[in-house]
Amino acid sequence: MKKNYGFNDFKFFTEMAELASRHQSYDLSLGLPDFEIDPRLRCFLKESADIISHSYESLAGNFSLIDNILIFNQNRKHSLRLKREEINIVPCSTFALYTSLKSILNPKDEVIVIQPSYYTYAPSIVMNGGIPVYYDLDNDFVVNWEKLQNCISEKTKAIIVNSPQNPTGKMWTAADWEMLYQLIKNQEIYLISEEIYDIYCYDESDHYSPFLHPELKKRTFSIFSFGKMFHSTGWKVSYLLASEELLDDFQAHQQYISYSSNAPCQYAISKYLEVFDPSENRKIMQNKRNIFNELIKDTPLQIEQKAEGSFFQLVNFRNVSKTMTDVEFSKWLTVEKKVSCLPLSAFYHSKQDSDYIRFSFAKKDDVIIQALEHLKKNL
């Protein structure tokens, strides 16, 4: 019998993309890059066909890839010095989130979800027997620490944080992580930190992982995505950082869900990390954000805060319509004005409306330019 967990699922997101396709609209709705990956990455994947055994990789992952993840993280501006035993290769970030929750939750444990948030968080909690507790960011999308503290109870077992954040583009700083630690240090509360846009931090800002915090790292699952990093989302390879103790519990469940990840892609990614320069990808994506933000000034749509990171920009649409809900406006913009977006309310559990829509600028420059030129003429 089909279970209904009571959540809006991925269908709304795909429906918006299908709506854009059906009406031949410029699709800026989903964070799916439509431009080419680095040709060197393709070459390494082809090379893997002749080099590897095509058997299962180990539970932890390709040893060469783990070594290169060590080097990659050590070379960050905020250097992460890791042990091999703190790294685990996983099929994707959603798998890492789900399995992290499975390894720590008991029935009826509470997990705080900071909204707006990605749609997989709450269902993953419920499917693992937990109870989502929703904390809504204030209008400036900055954490109000007193309000967040009020969400913490004796039943709280974990908090999920995404930085750089989808959909707001906001980032957590070292000071933010310290504030969070002060809230949870006297309880057994874990942190699931989704950091899949880690290299996409703009205007000279830098990603700061909670795994750098000497105390938080003992209770943190930090999730990263090669798919986002290399614009190769279909490869389905990500990695997780956690303490040896937490990783042992994680792997105890991982072995029964998906023992290992794509072996040819692990080989290719390992080789590519030896030549990859994250600053180049960051420059490319920041330029796309800048093109989007500059051109949208010629429309009635309003950017209140530039995205600090990620693939996404929030835009206030109330200069165009005071009466439509954000869902109605998103569909109207897609069908009538031929540019697709997503309503911010889609990133909340129960919110029915907002003043904002989300655009993805992870698209070819020409697509961004043509979409915004079209809006300039038609809004």
Same domain? 259 vs 304: no
3-state SS class at 364: coil
For every residue of 51-66, DSSP letters joined together read HS--SPPPSS--HHHH
- What is the rounded CA–CA span in Å between residue 320 and residue 47? 52
Question: How confident is the model over 164-222, as pLDDT tens digits?
Answer: 999 999 999 999 999 999 999 999 999 999 999 999 999 988 999 999 999 999 999 99
Residue finishing a domain among 234, 255, 273: 273
Tell me the pLDDT band of 7, cut-offs 50, 70 and 90. Answer: low
Q: Backbone phi, then psi, for 211, in 5-degree steps?
A: -70, -10
Angle in degrees, 0-180, between the axes of helices 278-296 and 365-378, rounded to the nearest 10: 10
User: Taking all residues of the chain, what is their mean pLDDT, rounded to a whole number?
Assistant: 94
More confident residue, 11 or 138: 138
Spatial separation of the C-alpha atoms in residues 239 and 213, rounded to whole Å: 19
For residues 302 and 175, state if they share a domain.
no
Residue written as tokens 């569909």? 331
What pLDDT is recorded for position 1? Answer: 41
User: At residue 154, does pLDDT exceed 50?
Assistant: yes
Is the pLDDT higher at 156 or at 19?
156
pLDDT tens-place string over residues 105-139: 999 999 999 999 998 999 999 999 999 999 999 88
- Last-in-domain residue among 205, 238, 273: 273
pLDDT at 6: 55
322 shares a domain with 236: no
Is 254 in the same domain as 146? yes
Which residues, other chains included, contact 4 with Cβ-Cβ below 8 Å and sequence gap of 6+?
A: none
Kindly state whether residues 344 and 365 are assigned to the same domain. yes
| Four-CA torsion 299, 301, 304, 306, nearest 10 degrees | -60
Tell whether 308 and 371 lie within a shared domain.
yes
Number of domains into which the chain is organized: 2
CATH of the domain at 48: 3.40.640.10
Mean pLDDT in residue range 141-146: 96
- Residue pair 50/222 in contact by the 8 Å Cβ criterion: no
Q: What is the mean pLDDT of residues 249-265?
A: 93
Angstrom distance (rounded) from CA 167 to CA 183:
25
**61 part of a folded domain:** yes
Residue 123 and residue 247 in one domain: yes
> What's the CA gap between 23 and 334, in Å, rounded?
8
Instruction: Decide if 230 is inside a domain.
Output: yes
Q: Is residue 3 assigned to a domain?
A: no
166 and 188 in a single domain? The answer is: yes
Q: How sure is the predictor about 365, in pLDDT bands with cuts at 50, 70 and 90?
A: very high
Q: Show the tokens assigned to 266.
A: 């692990």
Q: 4 pLDDT exceeds 90? A: no
CA distances from 51 to 42, 264, 265 (A): 14, 9, 12
Asked whether residue 4 is domain-assigned, the answer is no
Q: Give 228's Cβ-side CA count (13 Å radius).
A: 24
CA distance 183 to 175: 13
Going by the DSSP 8-state scheme, the letter that residue 177 receives in this structure is: H
Average pLDDT over residues 335-359: 94
| pLDDT tens digit sequence for 38-82 | 999 999 999 999 988 888 889 999 999 999 999 999 999 999 999
User: Residues 142, 116: one domain?
Assistant: yes
Q: How confident is the model at residue 5 (pLDDT cuts 50, 70, 90)?
A: low
> Would residue 5 count as lying in a domain?
no
Where does a domain end: 273, 296, 312? 273
Residues 231 and 303 grouped into a single domain? no
Residue 123: other Cβ atoms inside 10 A: 17
Average pLDDT over residues 343-366: 94
Q: Is position 6 within any domain?
A: no
Asked if residue 311 lies in contact with residue 362, where contact means CB atoms within 8 angstroms, the answer is yes
What is the reported pTM?
Answer: 0.95
Proportion of the chain above pLDDT 70, given as a percent:
97
Contact indicator for 157, 111 with CB cutoff of 8 Å: yes
Phi-psi bin for 156: left (phi > 0), alpha (psi -120 to 50), beta?
beta
pLDDT of residue 54: 86
**What is the C-alpha separation between 159 and 88, in angstroms, rounded?**
21
Is there a domain that residue 2 lies in? no
Which CATH number belongs to the domain containing residue 368 in this structure? 3.90.1150.10
* Tokens of residue 20, six digits: 């854009």
Does residue 220 sit within a domain? Answer: yes
Is 90 exceeded by the pLDDT of residue 351? Answer: no
Cα 100 to Cα 262: distance, rounded to the nearest angstrom: 20
**Statement to judge: residues 109 and 151 lie in one domain:** yes
- Parent domain of 171: 39-273
Strand partners, 360: 312
CB atoms within 10 A of CB 272: 23
> Are 189 and 285 within one domain?
no
d(CA 155, CA 188): 10
CA 80 to centroid of chain Cα atoms: 20
Read off the amino acid at residue 362. Answer: A
